[in-house]
A and B are shown apart, each in its own frame.
Chain A
Amino acid sequence: MDQQGQNGLLTTYREGWRNRSILGLTISLLLVSFYIVLYWEHKVQEQLGVAPFTAFSEAVGLRNRWYLYGFLYSVAMIGGAVYYLRRHGNSRYNRFRITVNVAIQIALGFTLPFIMPLFGGDELYFSYFWPLKYDYLYPQTLADVPLYFALYTVVGSLLAAPVLAVLYGKRWYCSWVCGCGGLANTFGDPWRHLTSKSTKSWRFEHLSIHLVLLIAIATTFLIGLDWLIGSDHPTFHRIISGDDWKDWSIKSFYGFAVGSILAGVIGTGLYPVFGPRVWCRNFCPMAAVLGWVQKVGRYRIKVKPGMCISCGNCSTYCEMGIDVRSYAQADQSFTRASCVGCGMCAHMCPRGVLKLENSWDRPEDKQRQRLSVVDF
């Protein structure tokens, strides 16, 4: 049966492992260790003489540790999806969204990249775009991949992604397609209430996400420049894209700081501490771009006037730390750049106050009201 909204009461704060308890922090520690060993396996090998992930993946026929990671990632998403759907699957939006997202991960995030090399092709990810997949717009990458994929990436990153975000909000990507968002919404779901709603965290988000975007654009630009003139300027080339880790080139630094530390170790390892969207909310450059686009597009959360009882379920379960309640109490329909359209605020609301929609026709948005929390 399709029901509206949350089915039965949750016991979130009565479950130790879902909160910042010893158990929760232990889970976080394990995740962080997992990522550190995964990313810096060569260091582990120097110390212990074994490369655990590489050895294991070769033993089970997964070629290298990144396929093993992709496999574990998919398994974590499937397990998390079962957990999520048992709680929230009574709503169609949740059911469709999670099913599509998991299917895309299995097909485009794991199976296709694994199979393509068997047929002599490259390992290509159709579900990621620049600037999230930062190297996909590097000229060298575009020159190396098949022409159709280069076109797919350029059109997808620069045209299709923003246009879809104008029409449907960034959710088309962040909550239906993206693997990072998919993991957050499945495996990370038990911790979604931990995302901070404080004004401080909002300020931090503004600063950090735009900083990373700036760095992403600058890095891409410099690498493009290097591709054009690098052969004439060896020092410039070494600084920009010397591939050796020890060189700390701009290119490898971006991969290290953003790709490994922010997206992996912090972004996923700290789910049980800061909630599941640490990366998406604070650092993802793609989210920053799509967020801007979303602000001028059709997507919004519509608020039913005068019906909100200020209970706070929407804000508590917003994984992006948006204080949805402050808009609902002010009878103010809204679009926030960070909103990934997961739909959980509308799902949790016990009074059916909120509705995600795509619409140009929204006269009441113009009469903006005072938000008691935000506007002072």
Chain B
Amino acid sequence: MRIVIIGNGVAGMEAALAVREREPSWEISLISEESDHFFSRTALMWVFSGQMSHRDIEPLERDAYARLGLRRVRARATGIDAAKRLVLMAGGLEPVPYDRLLIASGSRPRSGPWTGTDARGVGYFVTLQDLAWYESEVHGGSSRAGGPPRPDAHLPASAADSPYGFREVAAERRGRLAQRPAVIGGGLIGIEAVEVAVTAGLRPRFFIREEWFWPIALDPRESQWIADRMGHHGVDVHLEHEVEMLEADSDGNVAAVRTNEGRYEADCVVIAIGVVPNTSWLAGSAIELDERGGIVVDESLTTSAADVFAAGDCASVRWFDGSQRPEQLWYTARDQGRVAGRRLLGDSPRYERGAWYNSAKLMDIEYTTAGLVNWNLDGEQSWFFEEHGSVRSTTRVVVQQDRVVGFNMLGRRWDHSVLIGWIEEQRSLAWVLTHLNDAAFDTEFVPPLRIPGA
């Protein structure tokens, strides 16, 4: 049996491990344009700051491929011939034949819809190559942690529209490192790009279109706290700024960001306005895509083509609310990869998406969410508590018809699995408030949250 997996990310790797665990002799090939080794995309920011090395963000030891007999193809796939069961390859490489195929090609950054985004010094923060570019602009190269593995390995095969191509560096051309970077887009990748610039001793500008930072997840009070922390660390947060264009100097290096509010000098611009399924290379193949570009799959992660499955950021799956769209999260990619692995083995498991939860760290504030928060439910109400004392935190409990449906927590650690349990048990607000500390996950010796009157 020939198993081919396009993508060496978490979805692809989890599937490969699941297959190998049960079928020691099947031929498994992993195609990846981006890197030789499976790494954690979530951890790019720490490599940038120097908190971790490239090796540190690789979950497996480097001999894992040899040890587990996983064949690697480091090149770009350009399409799929579903009738002949072939993966077409760039750079004149032989097509790769498959019996069962998994597409786990992840996301690519959404490109800026403005003029000037092709100036030197404009980039993203999603791939290893983006990391190398951004490090070069700000630090003049990678830390002792070393550059991305084999930066040259795939270049001949890279197409112009690949998210994994290396980018020219404005700092090199200019002969001076970036001093005034700007980040466009107030989401999670944006705030990470801002924070690493702060760690490098710079004063980045942060352009956010909305009224407050990250409105899909935070309310204004919560967001204000994060904005205060950013300000404290020297970030210039520009709210309600709609970017209109990027300006370049006569040499082609980016020089300024123009918004509806004015012109702001910038010598390095990171666009972080979201990601889209990395599927443009599938255009014209028999694989059905949705209007966002996600690969449409059923609940067993099967695509419109026989024996072709999709998992991870590129797959458009059924959500708990019934909608069909991609889930761009690490743990969903991991879980989908495991299900896809069983599909490749011939089982028929179902991918079942439970309640929504997530966590993040916004500058130095930890964030946990569970259930339906900021969904604008009919008749929803929020119970909000701000703790000021030796610990600072905010607690927001969303209630609908006296049933708790969501939690949004900043500054403390919570066990989301306990919170989700309460949502499923349809607990009342009063009950939840008296039991809240049963879900606490704070480190030892941290005084428990005390809610007056609860």
Residues of A in contact with B (beta carbons under 8 Å apart): 1-16, 19, 21, 91-93, 96, 193, 198-199, 304-313, 315-316, 325-326, 329, 343, 346-347, 350-352, 355-357, 370, 372-373, 376
Contact = CB atoms under 8 A, between A and B. Distances in A.
A310 B42 contact: yes
B40 A4 contact: no
A347 B445 CA distance: 13
Contacts of B366: 4-5, 350-352
Q: Name the residue among B46, B334, B416, B445 with the largest chain A CB count within 10 angstroms.
A: B46
12 contacts: A5-B366, A92-B443, A92-B444, A306-B331, A307-B416, A310-B40, A312-B57, A312-B58, A351-B360, A352-B366, A356-B444, A376-B67
Contact of B52 (A3, A312, A372): A312
Report whether over half of chain A's contact residues are helix, strand or loop; otherwise say mixed: loop
Interface string B49-93: 111110011111100100110000000000000000000000000
A3 B444 contact: no
B361 interface: yes
Interface stretch (B111-119, B245-253, B407-415): B407-415
Contact of B331 (A3, A307, A346): A307
Interface string B131-163: 000000001000111000000000000000000
A312 B59 contact: yes
Q: Top 8 A-B pairs ranked by shortest CB distance? A: A14-B50, A352-B413, A311-B43, A9-B49, A309-B42, A92-B445, A13-B145, A13-B50
Contacts of A308: 331
Given A1-B392, A13-B53, A326-B59, A21 B144 contact: yes
B434 interface: no
Given A11-B199, A96-B445, A198-B61, A313 B357 contact: no
B382 to A, nearest CB: 22
A21 B143 CA distance: 12
B53 A4 contact: no
A146 to B, nearest CB: 36
Given A9-B45, A304-B415, A372-B60, A2 B52 contact: no
B330 interface: yes
B21 A376 contact: yes
Contacts of B360: 351
Given A2-B390, A4-B411, A5-B361, A11 B50 contact: yes
B359 interface: yes
Contacts of B444: 92-93, 343, 356-357
Interface residues of B, number: 60
Contacts of A329: 59, 334
B196 interface: yes
Given A92-B445, A92-B446, A311-B40, A4 B412 contact: yes
B42 A311 contact: yes
A8 B199 contact: yes
A345 to B, nearest CB: 11
A351 B361 contact: yes
A4 B46 contact: no
Given A1-B391, A6-B364, A93-B445, 12 more contacts: A5-B361, A5-B364, A7-B364, A9-B51, A16-B144, A96-B445, A304-B416, A309-B43, A312-B52, A346-B443, A356-B443, A372-B60
A307 B57 CA distance: 17
Given A93-B444, A309-B330, A312-B52, A13 B416 contact: no
B395 interface: no
A313 B46 contact: yes
A21 B391 CA distance: 40
B195 interface: yes
A352 B367 CA distance: 9
Contacts of A312: 40, 43, 52, 56-59
B441 A304 contact: yes
Interface string B182-204: 00000000000001100100000
B105 interface: no
B442 A10 contact: no
A169 to B, nearest CB: 12
A325 B59 contact: yes
Contacts of A8: 199, 364
Contacts of B51: 9-13, 313, 316
Nearest to A375: B21
Contacts of B330: 309-310
A311 B361 CA distance: 13
A13 B56 CA distance: 11
A172 to B, nearest CB: 12
Nearest to A326: B59
B21 A311 contact: no
B17 interface: yes
Contacts of B390: 1-2
Contacts of B368: 352
Nearest to A16: B144
A174 to B, nearest CB: 16
B446 to A, nearest CB: 6
B413 to A, nearest CB: 4
Nearest to A24: B144
Instruction: Report which residue of A304, A308, A311, A376 has the largest number of chain B beta carbons within 10 angstroms of its beta carbon.
Output: A311
A376 B22 CA distance: 11
Given A1-B392, A5-B366, A13-B144, A311 B441 contact: no
A168 to B, nearest CB: 10
Given A5-B366, A304-B417, A355-B441, A14 B196 contact: no
Interface in B431-446: 441-446
A279 B443 CA distance: 27
Contact of A13 (B143, B392, B415): B143
Contact of B446 (A4, A12, A316, A376): A4
A340 to B, nearest CB: 15
A10 B49 contact: yes
